[in-house]
């Protein structure tokens, strides 16, 4: 029996609205983007009714680095299903051991131990717990506008928009502007357990730190006896043309978190890798942090194959080649539309396109959708469009995406004058909503 299109698109949307999320259904339907993923293959997604095809340049934040239903990853999971299940998280595991050893070999520095999680938020929670347990200090410093997940401690380290509606959360969390070493220095003290940063903060619009920044952060942590936790859930695993984004800065963290792409888009898994001295606490308390589905053995097999594929020199060379291709063409678009595309932020295939005001990111999301490309705006800086093509993208497919970008930016340049920048198009009703409907 086929699993796609068992219901009509209308039935799916109605049931989703009634039983999963009325708000999401209303948002996407109201924005004219009521896309329901049906067939998915390589760099493309098709609507469940077959009427819409999208080139996926969102990749769910890097989950689909290897494309959708990558045949190598799919075959690995099929073969593993002949022998394995999720395993028992209390017991010694061959497959967690093999994956952890490979992560240690690939780590940016000496990080021999790994604890596994189901998703990035859980992995960040554990990183914070470990930092506090090791240092016996409470304070966690993170970046304003950053994003680390929606679980307890990860949520407390994130942007106020995501945590304030839920009332008082865990104390001890402080935020400073990303890239501002002086602001960080003012907050560092003898109570600081760790500095937690995304190497490239995607939800903040992918600002790229200066070449000195992470080295200076490392020095501050060493001076104060604090740990450096790097969140590479989106930026790791080849996304920037190096296996880990922090390699561009030549800095070694104390704790490194990975996820999303580690799943191969097939089996959820995330990881927290850390220095040997941090294992002392866990050695004495081996059952103090457990995760029933974290490091599921099927997921470990999938992740090991992902690491095998993404660490190959020829794979990283392909990412670098495609990054150069995008860089040249995005520079051309920047020169063609200097008043509309005002900045290109790029490391490898992690790209943020900056436009003049907070309505432009949502408008570009919609315009690209109409031109057959899926890319979403950065919610903590809606001037920015996140552009994350699959790492397997070819020059032909990249050209298709760039041509769509050209058309979308050209249209944005024409319609911006009709939309006052003090209006929030994500919240409007009445005449302005009718104007937008007419424009699209």
Stretch 369-384: mean pLDDT = 96
Q: Give CA–CA dist 236/65, Å, rounded.
A: 10
Residue 224's pLDDT band, with cuts at 50, 70 and 90, is very high
Q: How many CA atoms lie less than 13 Å away from 201 in the CB half-sphere? A: 23
Say which DSSP state 404 is in: H
Q: Is the pLDDT of residue 157 over 80?
A: no
Q: Is position 3 within any domain?
A: no
pLDDT 10s digits, 307-329: 999 999 999 999 999 999 999 99
13 and 57 within one domain: yes
In this structure, is residue 1 part of a structural domain? Answer: no
Which of these three, 284, 310, 336, is where a domain ends?
Answer: 310
Q: Please give the span between the terminal C-alpha atoms of the chain, in angstroms, as a whole number.
A: 38
pLDDT of 436 above 70: no
Which residues touch 436 (CB under 8 Å, ≥6 apart)?
A: 419, 425, 428
Q: pLDDT per residue over 81-95, tens digit each? A: 999 999 999 999 999
Give the end of a domain, one of 274, 292, 310: 310
State whether 287 and 268 are in the same domain: yes
Which residues form the domain of 281? 72-310
Tell me, what's the pLDDT at 149?
Answer: 85
Distance between CA atoms of residues 226 and 102, nearest Å: 27
Could you tell me if residue 427 is inside a domain?
yes
**What total of structural domains would you count in the chain?**
2
Q: Which residue has the tokens 């497919």?
A: 397
Q: Residue 435's pLDDT band (boundaries 50, 70, 90)?
A: low
Looking at the fold, whether 187 and 328 belong to one and the same domain comes out as: no
CATH number, position 13: 3.90.1150.10
Indicate whether 222 and 145 sit together in one domain. yes
Last residue of a domain, one of 310, 325, 354: 310
Q: Is residue 292 scored above 80 in pLDDT?
A: yes
The verdict on residue 31 lying in a domain is yes
Same domain for 306 and 254:
yes
Find, among 22, 46, 20, 21, the residue nearest to 35 by Cα: 46
Task: Name the pTM for this structure.
Answer: 0.95
Q: Please report the pLDDT score of residue 431 as a whole number.
A: 55
Same domain, 409 and 281: no
Please report which confidence band the pLDDT of residue 165 belongs to, taking 50, 70 and 90 as the band edges: confident
């Amino acid at each position: 029996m086929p699993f796609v299109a068992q219901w009509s698109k209308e039935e799916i949307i109605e049931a989703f609205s009634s039983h999963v999320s009325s708000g999401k259904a209303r948002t996407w339907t109201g924005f004219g983007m009521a896309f329901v993923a049906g067939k998915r293959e390589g760099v493309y997604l098709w609507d469940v009714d077959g009427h819409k095809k999208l080139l996926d340049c969102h990749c769910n934040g890097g989950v689909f680095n290897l494309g959708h239903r990558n045949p190598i990853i799919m075959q690995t999971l099929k073969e593993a299903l002949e022998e394995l299940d999720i395993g028992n998280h209390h017991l010694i595991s061959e497959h967690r051991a093999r994956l952890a050893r490979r992560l240690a070999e690939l780590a940016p520095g000496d990080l021999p131990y790994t604890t596994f999680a189901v998703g990035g938020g859980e992995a960040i929670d554990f990183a914070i717990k470990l930092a506090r347990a090791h240092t016996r200090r409470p304070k966690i410093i993170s970046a304003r506008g950053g994003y680390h997940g929606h679980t307890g401690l990860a949520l407390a380290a994130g942007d106020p928009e995501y945590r304030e509606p839920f009332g008082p959360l865990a104390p001890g969390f402080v935020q400073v502007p990303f890239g501002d070493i002086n602001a960080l220095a003012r907050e560092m003290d003898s109570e600081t357990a760790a500095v937690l940063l995304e190497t490239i903060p995607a939800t903040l619009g992918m600002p790229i730190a200066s070449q000195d920044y992470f080295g200076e952060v490392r020095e501050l942590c060493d001076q104060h006896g604090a740990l450096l936790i790097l969140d590479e859930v989106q930026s790791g695993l080849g996304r920037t043309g190096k296996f880990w984004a922090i390699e561009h800065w030549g800095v070694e963290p104390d704790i490194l978190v990975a996820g999303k792409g580690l799943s191969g888009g097939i089996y959820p898994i995330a990881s927290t890798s850390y220095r040997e001295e941090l294992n002392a606490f866990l050695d004495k308390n081996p059952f103090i942090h457990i995760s029933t589905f974290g490091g599921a053995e099927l997921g470990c097999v999938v992740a090991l194959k992902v690491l095998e594929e993404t660490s190959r020199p020829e794979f990283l060379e392909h990412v670098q080649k495609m990054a150069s291709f995008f860089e040249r063409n995005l520079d051309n678009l920047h020169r063609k539309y200097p008043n509309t595309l005002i900045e290109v932020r790029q490391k490898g295939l992690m790209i943020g396109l900056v436009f003049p005001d907070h309505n432009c990111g949502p408008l570009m999301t919609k315009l690209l959708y109409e031109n057959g490309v899926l890319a979403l705006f950065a919610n903590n800086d809606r001037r920015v469009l996140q552009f994350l093509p699959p790492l397997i993208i070819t020059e032909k497919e990249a050209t298709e995406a760039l041509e769509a970008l050209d058309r979308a930016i050209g249209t944005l340049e024409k319609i911006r004058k009709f939309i006052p920048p003090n209006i929030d198009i994500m919240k409007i009703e009445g005449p302005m909503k009718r104007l937008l409907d007419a424009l699209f």
